[in-house]
């Protein structure tokens, strides 16, 4: 255990119109040759064209516009040999998958091998080709984190290393105004759960030292997570239902950005571990899997999180002081369940086709999520299997 808390956020620019600062920020870091990594949706939306227009005549630019959604480790293994090896930086433009592909490519193109060689924490041996992120969703917070997520052997795992924390990110809410409702809904729920699980993570003093800054909740992460939760909760429904609402889009972009910064310093917990396991078993977006695992994960942690749940429950109801923490702790989960129903999410894993007899497999894959479960506020005990069986 360590009494020292490390604060190491990635440099970022935030605000409507921030994208125009991209060329000067790249130049100030000496970047001249760029590989832009995006997906077909962004390439056809006009966003990539805006970015390329800003870079035109000032940088050598190659573009890869086929970044897979929910990438497999083998996708990266097949891709990386086709790209220029002299790039100064990789620019991930899009949602979490595009940014994660940029991070994954930077690892294997710098250090060789295959992506699965780098599963786990602290496995990248040194610096990588720098990563610049321009998110176009309000969800993963990948522009702030030291992690790239991919599926390997049917389980959603990943690589975490401080070497792959982005060198720069530009967060411009303007880029989210045209998002489809489903993307806004799914990515927004990921951001909301990042804020919740970062705030409630196991305290810093109870988490053993590890090679990444998933160091447990601490004053830095809790302050960011609380503000992220407040920002997202205030506008999430509006952003889903009124996608051109600039205030709502700004609140979601800010909240997801702060939440990514928070959890990259604290770690997450059981809801994310369960959802990543579920995502390897069913064909559903990550935000959908998180919603299906919310009651299952949070109810398991309730006994040790009543105080923190009460704080969040009070914010949900516009109360800065709470007359009864016990009441607000219960309402916190109830309000989340109401949100899940309002936005037509699945409420439990069985809504996605998982059966009670799959509980053992779900538990087994959850226990592989060591990056998440080491900072879960409640240690995972023998009763977890029974809890999963009841909650499926």
Same domain, 204 and 321: yes
- Give how many domains the chain has, as a whole number: 2
CB 337 within 8 A of CB 343: no
Q: Please write down the HEC assignment for all residues of 113-182.
A: CCHHHHCEECCCCCCCCCEEEEECCCCCCHHHCCEEEEEECCEEEEEECHHHCCCEEEECHHHHCCCCHH
Domain residue limits at 83: 12-176
Cα–Cα distance between 258 and 265 in angstroms, integer? 11
Which pLDDT does position 86 carry in this prediction? Answer: 85
CB atoms within 10 A of CB 351: 15
Cα–Cα distance between 83 and 148 in angstroms, integer? 19
Kindly report the pTM of this predicted structure: 0.94
CB 168 within 8 A of CB 133: yes
Angle formed by the axes of helices 219-241 and 246-266, nearest 10°: 150
Residue 3 is assigned to a structural domain of this protein: no
Residue 6 is assigned to a structural domain of this protein: no
Same domain, 36 and 93: yes
Helices (H), the chain: 22-28, 40-45, 47-55, 73-79, 96-111, 181-199, 219-241, 246-266, 270-279, 286-316, 325-342, 359-367, 370-373, 384-391
Same domain, 171 and 187: no
Which pLDDT does position 216 carry in this prediction? Answer: 95
Cα–Cα distance between 131 and 244 in angstroms, integer? 30
DSSP state of 61: E
Which pLDDT does position 81 carry in this prediction? Answer: 73
The terminus-to-terminus CA distance of the chain in angstroms comes to: 35
**For the chain, how many residues are written?**
392
Residue 7 is assigned to a structural domain of this protein: no
- Tell me the range of 44-48, 204-208, 246-250, 323-327 where mean pLDDT is highest: 246-250
Same domain, 200 and 155: no
Same domain, 135 and 266: no
Which of 139, 157, 176 terminates a domain? The answer is: 176
Residue 2 is assigned to a structural domain of this protein: no
Three-class DSSP category at 37: strand
Residue 226 is assigned to a structural domain of this protein: yes
Which of 176, 205, 222 terminates a domain? The answer is: 176
Residue 294 is assigned to a structural domain of this protein: yes
Cα–Cα distance between 145 and 158 in angstroms, integer? 12
Q: Is the pLDDT of residue 171 over 90?
A: yes
Which of 176, 211, 237 terminates a domain? The answer is: 176
Q: Is the pLDDT of residue 340 over 70?
A: yes
Residue 311, domain CATH: 1.20.1090.10
Same domain, 172 and 198: no
Which distant-in-sequence residues (6+ apart) come within 8 Å of 124 by Cβ? 107, 111, 118, 159, 161, 163, 164
Residue 168, domain CATH: 3.40.50.1970
Instruction: Compute the Cα dihedral for 214, 216, 220, 226 and give only its sign.
Output: positive
User: Which of 149-158, 202-211, 317-326 is predicted least confidently?
Assistant: 317-326
Which pLDDT does position 160 carry in this prediction? Answer: 93
% of the chain beyond a pLDDT of 90: 74
Same domain, 270 and 251: yes
Residue 1 is assigned to a structural domain of this protein: no
- Provide the token pair at 18: 């921030």
Cα–Cα distance between 243 and 359 in angstroms, integer? 37
CB atoms within 10 A of CB 85: 10
Reading across the β-sheet that carries 155-160, which strands appear in turn?
120-121, 155-160, 147-152
Same domain, 188 and 132: no
Residue 334 is assigned to a structural domain of this protein: yes
Same domain, 386 and 238: yes
Rounded CA Rg of the chain: 20
pLDDT classification of 3: cutoffs 50, 70, 90: confident
The closest of 345, 335, 177 to 253, measured between CA atoms, is 177
Residue pLDDT, tens place only, 42-76: 988 899 999 999 999 999 999 999 888 888 888 88
Same domain, 223 and 172: no
User: Which of 41-55, 79-93, 168-182 is predicted least confidently?
Assistant: 79-93
Same domain, 150 and 274: no
Q: Beta strands 60-64 and 12-14: pairing type?
A: unpaired
Same domain, 59 and 100: yes
Specify whether the backbone of 130 is left (phi greater than 0), alpha (psi in -120 to 50) or beta: beta
């Amino acid at each position: 255990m360590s009494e020292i808390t490390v604060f190491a956020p990635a440099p970022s620019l935030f605000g409507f119109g921030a994208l125009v600062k991209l060329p000067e920020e790249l130049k100030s870091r000496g970047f001249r040759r760029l590989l832009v990594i995006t997906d077909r949706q962004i390439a056809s939306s006009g966003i990539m064209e805006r970015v390329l227009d800003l870079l035109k005549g000032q940088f050598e630019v190659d573009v890869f516009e086929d970044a897979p959604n929910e990438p497999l480790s083998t996708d990266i293994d097949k891709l990386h040999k086709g790209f220029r090896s002299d790039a100064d930086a990789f620019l991930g433009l899009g949602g979490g998958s595009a940014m994660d592909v940029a991070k994954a490519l930077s690892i294997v193109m710098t250090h060789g091998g295959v992506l699965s060689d780098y599963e786990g924490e602290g496995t990248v041996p040194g610096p990588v080709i720098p990563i610049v992120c321009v998110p176009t969703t309000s969800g993963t917070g990948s522009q702030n984190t030291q992690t790239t997520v991919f599926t390997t052997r049917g389980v959603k795992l990943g690589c975490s290393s401080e070497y792959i924390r982005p060198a720069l990110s530009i967060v411009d809410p303007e880029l989210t105004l045209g998002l489809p409702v489903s993307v806004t809904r799914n990515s927004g729920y990921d951001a909301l759960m990042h804020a919740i699980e970062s705030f409630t993570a196991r305290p810093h003093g109870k988490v053993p030292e590890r090679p990444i800054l998933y160091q447990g909740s601490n004053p830095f992460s809790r302050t960011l997570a609380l503000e992220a939760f407040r920002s997202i909760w205030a506008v999430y429904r509006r952003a889903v239902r009124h996608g051109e609402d600039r205030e709502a889009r700004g609140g979601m972009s800010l909240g997801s950005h702060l939440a990514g910064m928070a959890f990259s310093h604290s770690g997450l917990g059981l809801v994310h571990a369960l959802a990543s396991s579920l995502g390897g078993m069913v064909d559903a977006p990550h935000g959908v899997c998180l919603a299906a695992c919310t009651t299952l994960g949070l109810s398991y942690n309730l006994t040790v999180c009543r105080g923190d749940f009460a704080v969040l429950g009070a914010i949900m109801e516009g109360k800065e002081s709470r007359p009864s923490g016990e009441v607000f702790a219960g309402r916190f989960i109830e309000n989340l369940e109401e949100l899940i129903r309002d936005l037509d999410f699945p409420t439990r894993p069985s809504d996605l086709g998982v059966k009670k007899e799959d509980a053992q497999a779900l538990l087994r894959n959850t226990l592989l999520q060591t990056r998440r479960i080491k900072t879960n506020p409640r240690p995972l005990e023998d009763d977890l299997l029974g809890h999963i069986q009841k909650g499926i």
